[in-house]
């Protein structure tokens, strides 16, 4: 009899690796650990009452519809309110231009299924959002990193690499990038749009953090620029501004590409949860989401500042870090002789955690880098966490 252990998996599944961030979240689940590792919204800031009322209302008013199968494209009421929000923020959008996805991560997976063939070239920022790297590697494509500086992706490097590699797609997070927190300026966004038009590749613009701005003025989406309007897929999410447990995201795409994404989604899950979509639409109709986001921003700004003010004492001398204008992350580089991955075990012994930077690199890694998330805890807990981190580094002689 053939043992089940000997039955092969598909090559792409056998080669897939688990997310180091998700694995680290499991290790840091103990309540005594202060974890700066996951990009976790603060649970005490969720509008539990408003969301619960939205579910009660849709289940009382239209239980048959809320609990039934629904269209693959998404709940019409939810798409209408999302389109209105995009339009109000400077990107005229019709509801039929949107697909509701099970989180924005599914939107990226749909895009991979529609656009990418094995051995296609995908360009990414260096470093890059880890789950995007997972999606691209599972799709069997070749991922090429575009060098970045403190201002994000370098247009001259993008043009050089695009000419050399003939990419199918560029994936980037222009506002408060994960993991670095960097934001691409308007001149660089325009340059990206023009380079994409010149070299004929698609742009996947991921915007999960754009409404979490604490300083400065919002930049327009690349999708709103004329040079890229026909080739940019914009992806977003309600996870960071409403609740991640709802798993509601969306994508805005041109007609042919959007229709193909609908067909791929039909093969994956038929449609995103009907009741969650209906409740989200009712919540957005009956509540002031912008006022809620203002409260979240005020809390996160205070937490960012608490983290930044404590880093000089917590980190080894010679460390460098940025000051993001929004989002959820601060990017740190330790001195050259430090390895953030090796130092993590000592941090865990002091009941504090962070994410080493190594998994975020598509090509050559920088072991001295790490990511800190500041949104999960109140300032007092952040201060205690940094004190623990300082003791952990001191114990290693770092």
Segment 151-178 shows an average pLDDT of 98
pLDDT at 395: 82
Q: Quick check: pTM over 0.85?
A: yes
pLDDT (tens digit per residue) in 203-257: 999 999 999 999 999 999 999 999 999 999 999 999 999 999 999 999 999 989 9
- pLDDT given at position 137: 94
What's the half-sphere exposure (Cβ side, CA atoms, 13 Å) at 251?
32
User: Quick one: pLDDT at residue 274?
Assistant: 98
Q: Token pair of 89, please? A: 């923020």
**pLDDT at residue 30, rounded to an integer:** 78
Statement: residue 17 has pLDDT above 90? no
Q: Read off the pLDDT of residues 244-296 as tens digits, 9 standing for 90 and up.
A: 999 999 999 998 999 999 999 999 999 999 999 999 999 999 999 999 999 99
Listed in order, strand segments (DSSP E) in 163-321 are 169-172, 202-206, 232-237, 249-252, 320-321
pLDDT at residue 24, rounded to an integer:
63
Confidence (pLDDT) at 367:
97
Determine the pLDDT at residue 301: 98
363 touches 145 (CB < 8 A): yes
Q: What DSSP string runs through 300-329?
A: HHHHHHHHHHHHHHHSPTT-EE---SBSSE
Asked if 242 and 283 touch (Cβ cutoff 8 Å), the reply is: yes
pLDDT attached to residue 1: 61
* pLDDT above 80 (res 109): yes
Task: Kindly tell me if the per-residue pLDDT of 2 is higher than 60.
Answer: no
- How far is residue 395's CA from residue 389's CA, in Å, rounded to a whole number? 10
Q: What is the mean pLDDT of the chain?
A: 94
Two tokens, residue 160:
């050089």
pLDDT for res 38: 86
pLDDT of residue 4: 59
Whether 383 shows a pLDDT value over 80: the answer reads yes
Supply the pLDDT for residue 396.
72
pLDDT in tens, 44-63: 999 999 999 999 999 999 99
- pLDDT one-digit tens code per residue, 322-364: 999 999 999 999 999 999 999 999 999 999 999 999 999 999 9
Q: Which residues touch 343 (CB under 8 Å, ≥6 apart)?
A: 334, 392, 393, 396, 398
Q: How far is the C-alpha of 276 from the C-alpha of 247, rounded, in Å?
A: 8
pLDDT over 80 at 76, yes or no: yes
Task: Please tell me the predicted confidence (pLDDT) of residue 26.
Answer: 66
pLDDT score, position 31: 83
Res. 122 pLDDT band, cuts 50 70 90: very high
Mean per-residue pLDDT for 124-148? 97
- As a whole number, mean pLDDT of residues 94-119 equals 96
Contact 146, 153 (CB under 8 A): yes
């Amino acid at each position: 009899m053939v043992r089940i252990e000997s039955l092969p998996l598909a090559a792409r599944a056998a080669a897939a690796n688990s997310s180091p961030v998700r694995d680290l979240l499991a290790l840091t689940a103990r309540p005594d650990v202060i974890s700066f590792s996951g990009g976790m919204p603060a649970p005490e800031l969720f509008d539990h009452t408003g969301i619960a009322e939205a579910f009660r209302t849709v289940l009382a008013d239209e239980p048959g519809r809320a609990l039934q199968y629904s269209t693959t494209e998404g709940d019409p009421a939810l798409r209408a309110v999302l389109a209105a929000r995009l339009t109000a923020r400077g990107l005229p959008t019709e509801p039929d231009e949107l697909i509701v996805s099970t989180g924005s991560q599914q939107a990226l997976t749909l895009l991979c299924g529609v656009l990418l063939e094995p051995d296609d070239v995908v360009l990414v920022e260096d470093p890059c959002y880890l789950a995007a790297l997972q999606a691209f590697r599972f799709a069997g494509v070749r991922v090429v990193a575009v060098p970045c500086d403190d201002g994000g992706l370098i247009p001259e490097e993008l043009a050089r690499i695009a000419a050399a590699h003939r990419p199918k797609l560029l994936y980037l997070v222009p506002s408060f990038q994960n993991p670095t927190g960097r934001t691409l300026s308007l001149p660089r966004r325009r340059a990206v749009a023009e380079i994409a038009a010149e070299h004929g590749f698609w742009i996947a613009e991921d915007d999960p953090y754009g409404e979490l701005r604490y300083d400065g003025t919002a930049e327009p989406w690349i999708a709103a620029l004329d040079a890229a309007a026909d080739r940019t897929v914009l992806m977003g999410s309600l996870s960071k501004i409403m609740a991640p447990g709802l798993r509601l995201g969306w994508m805005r795409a041109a007609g042919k590409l959007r229709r193909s994404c609908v067909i791929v989604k039909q093969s994956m899950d038929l449609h995103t949860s009907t009741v969650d979509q209906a409740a989200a639409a009712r919540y957005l109709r009956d509540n002031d989401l912008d006022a809620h986001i203002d409260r979240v921003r005020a809390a996160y700004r205070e937490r960012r500042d608490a983290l930044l003010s404590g880093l000089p004492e917590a980190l080894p001398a010679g460390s460098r870090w940025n000051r993001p204008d929004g989002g959820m992350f601060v990017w740190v580089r330790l001195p050259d002789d430090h390895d953030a991955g090796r130092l993590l075990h000592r941090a865990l012994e002091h009941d504090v955690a962070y994410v080493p930077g190594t998994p975020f690199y598509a090509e050559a890694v920088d072991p001295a880098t790490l990511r800190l998330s500041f949104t999960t805890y109140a300032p007092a807990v952040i201060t205690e966490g940094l004190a623990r981190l300082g003791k952990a580094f001191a114990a290693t002689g770092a």
